[in-house]
A and B are shown apart, each in its own frame.
Chain A
Amino acid sequence: MRGWIILLAVVVVLAAAPLGLPLFMMTLLTEALILGLMAMSLDLMVGYTRLVSFGHAAAYGLGAYSAGYILLHSDTPVLFAVFIAAAMTGIVAIAAAWVFTLATGVSFAMLTLAFAQLLYAIAFQWQQVTGGSDGLAGIPRRGGPFGFDLLTSKIGYYYLVLLCLFGAYLFCRTLVNSPFGAVLRGIRENENKTRALGYNTRAYKIGVVAIAYALGGLAGALYAPFAGFTNTELLFWLFSGQALIMVIVGGAGTLIGPILGAALFLLAQHQLSSVTETWAIYFGLMFIAVVLFLPEGIWGTLMQRLGRKTQRV
């Protein structure tokens, strides 16, 4: 109950943010929430199922390019385009996950990386659709339907992102507390035993990968019209690694932690990069410190200190 009140308070504060923050801060905050959604989706795999992915940029990039293509080549309103792109990403992910789950452990992670690199190569080569090395530019935040044009403004779009993140959080929280989520934790702790108990663990893994990619795709789809462009960097392995760092720094297996990790990452990038070009080194040092001294991540450690075991099963 207390948790819900705090959550509601945070959402209210975020919803009121445009009243007090200058526009450039709102831009930063929007991007932080988008990255937070991306990191949270990865947490379903890494934190709750211990399926480590080195290629979550695939989800983000696929969502971004799909939304960008739809918005550039049709009259679809941005409100619909992002969800169509997310669904497309999820569907592609079912096929990809069918392949990933032929392997386990490190081989699984390598297959996710290979898939992302494959998409990266395609994005480079398939000029007509992806724009090649230029990427897609001039992606509109198209209003509609029925003249609904709130989302065309930066502030209006911020609210769409906020609602998507909040909705996705509630969805993920429900999922991890459901019977399905209990099986995911079983797979995390002992997959062979889970299978021996009569669970088709591969089907559960394909399911969670598809959901994680759909939500990661939603994040990418929100990013494309926010930034107005896509480029191949969105599919690059560096971004996959960064997403993994956000999850670990924030606290894997907490959903909230990765959102914080993403915000922290973006803030560090923004603040440090204006001071030094080698900002990544400093963030790297912070990452090492977290892994050494806060193995549960920032949020995970905080929750442990507060003695609140929120996890069921």
Chain B
Amino acid sequence: MAFLELDGLTRRFGALVAVDQVSMRVEQGEVRAVIGPNGAGKSTLFNLINGVLPASEGEVRFDGRRLNGLSAFEICQLGMSRTFQITALFPEMTARDNARLAAQARLGGRWRPFGGGAVFAEAERRADAALERLGLGHVAGEVAGYLSHGDQRLLEVAMALAQRPRLMLLDEPTQGLSVEETGKAVETLTELLSDGKLTVLLVEHDMEVVFRLAQRITVLHRGAVIADGTPDEVKADANVQSAYLGGFE
């Protein structure tokens, strides 16, 4: 049994089949990328996995547990943290407070209506460690809304990391970044993912990023899986070349 298993996952919006019979196995410690052209259903797939959208058919199993019918916050509490394609932060809070609120969600006293010194201290410890790992230590005290776009993207990853997730879903972490910013972000992410302790499912547009970060790649086209394998296998796949990579190399 794999760590994350998708079985015949399908989502229809009216007549449109956004995600079509997607099955996938992700092992613990794996960095898996999901690629595909615009509108291939990548973000919808993420929304199905973490419970933002209900599936029309099929199921998701996470560490042996069936996730159907659980809401997004319950799935997150099982240890699945995600980032969004369009940056989702608390813009008026500092970077540290953003990460701290993320870390607090996984602590026992997260809802306490009084005191909470110990909760805050532990959350802050986890938050600072996560910010440090993403190279954001120097901007921890800055208001998140004023950070550069690149730092905001990394802050979202830091927030996910501060939750000490068992599975991280990263939705296009380099979305909308300039060339230099992408380079810096990819370096930071490569370093983060290289120790093999994190299990990551990654949606990415930028092929260079994907081939550097991922050990395995799943290719979506019009909502369906057309290829699945190592970066070299996927590059060599004829289906992929005609559907997607055409002219890439």
Query: Are A198 and B76 interface neighbours, CB within 8 A?
Result: yes
Residues on B with C-beta less than 8 A from A199 are 73, 105, 110
Query: A186 at interface (Cβ–Cβ under 8 A)?
Result: yes
Residues on A with C-beta less than 8 A from B73 are 195-201
Residues on A with C-beta less than 8 A from B111 are 179-180, 183, 204
Contact with B along A187-212 (1 / 0, CB 8 A): 00110111111111100100100000
Residue of A177, A178, A197, A201 near B101 (CB, 8 A) is: A197
Contact with A along B97-141 (1 / 0, CB 8 A): 100111011110111111110011000000000000000000000
Query: Are A196 and B93 interface neighbours, CB within 8 A?
Result: no
Residue of A nearest to B92 (CB): A189
A178-B115 in contact given A197-B159, A313-B93 (Cβ < 8 Å):
yes
Task: State A182–B115 Cα separation when bound (angstroms).
Answer: 12
Query: Are B93 and A189 interface neighbours, CB within 8 A?
Result: yes
Task: State A183–B113 Cα separation when bound (angstroms).
Answer: 10
A195-B72 in contact given A178-B116, A190-B88 (Cβ < 8 Å):
yes
Residues on B with C-beta less than 8 A from A186 are 90, 101
Task: State A196–B169 Cα separation when bound (angstroms).
Answer: 12
Query: Are A313 and B89 interface neighbours, CB within 8 A?
Result: no
Task: State A181–B105 Cα separation when bound (angstroms).
Answer: 13
Residues on A with C-beta less than 8 A from B113 are 174-175, 178-181, 207
Residues on B with C-beta less than 8 A from A201 are 73
Q: How far is the CB of A124 from chain B (nearest CB, A)?
A: 36
Task: State A175–B110 Cα separation when bound (angstroms).
Answer: 13
Query: Are B88 and A179 interface neighbours, CB within 8 A?
Result: no
8 Å CB contacts to B: which residues of A223-251? none
Q: How far is the CB of A192 from chain B (nearest CB, A)?
A: 7
Query: A185 at interface (Cβ–Cβ under 8 A)?
Result: yes
Contact with A along B58-82 (1 / 0, CB 8 A): 0000000000000111101100011
Residue of A179, A190, A200 near B116 (CB, 8 A) is: A179
Residue of A179, A193, A197, A207 near B120 (CB, 8 A) is: A179
Query: Are A178 and B105 interface neighbours, CB within 8 A?
Result: no
Query: B52 at interface (Cβ–Cβ under 8 A)?
Result: yes
8 Å CB contacts to B: which residues of A127-149? none
Q: How far is the CB of A45 from chain B (nearest CB, A)?
A: 15
Query: Are A190 and B114 interface neighbours, CB within 8 A?
Result: no
B: interface residue count bin: 35 or more
Interface size on A, residues (CB 8 A): 26
Query: Are B90 and A185 interface neighbours, CB within 8 A?
Result: yes
Task: State A179–B119 Cα separation when bound (angstroms).
Answer: 7
A196-B82 in contact given A179-B104, A190-B89 (Cβ < 8 Å):
yes
Residues on B with C-beta less than 8 A from A182 are 97, 100-101, 104, 120
Residue of B nearest to A176 (CB): B113
Query: Are B72 and A196 interface neighbours, CB within 8 A?
Result: yes
Query: B229 at interface (Cβ–Cβ under 8 A)?
Result: no
Query: Are A198 and B77 interface neighbours, CB within 8 A?
Result: yes
Task: State A207–B115 Cα separation when bound (angstroms).
Answer: 17
Pick the most buried of A174, A181, A189, A200: most chain B CB atoms within 10 A of its CB. Answer: A189
Task: State A192–B53 Cα separation when bound (angstroms).
Answer: 13
Task: State A179–B112 Cα separation when bound (angstroms).
Answer: 6
Residues on A with C-beta less than 8 A from B3 are none
Residues on B with C-beta less than 8 A from A175 are 113-114
7 contacts between A and B (CB under 8 A): A179-B116, A180-B116, A186-B90, A189-B90, A190-B90, A196-B52, A197-B163
**Residue positions of B touching A, CB distance < 8 A:** 50, 52, 71-74, 76-77, 81-82, 84, 88-93, 97, 100-102, 104-107, 109-116, 119-120, 159, 163
Q: For the complex of A and B, list the 7 residue pairs with the smallest distance between their C-beta atoms, beginning with the closest.
A: A198-B76, A198-B105, A180-B113, A189-B90, A179-B116, A193-B88, A197-B105
Besides the known contacts A175-B113, A189-B91, A196-B76, 17 further A-B residue pairs in the complex with CB atoms under 8 A apart: A175-B114, A177-B116, A179-B109, A179-B110, A180-B112, A183-B110, A183-B111, A190-B88, A190-B89, A195-B72, A196-B72, A197-B101, A197-B102, A199-B105, A200-B73, A204-B111, A313-B101
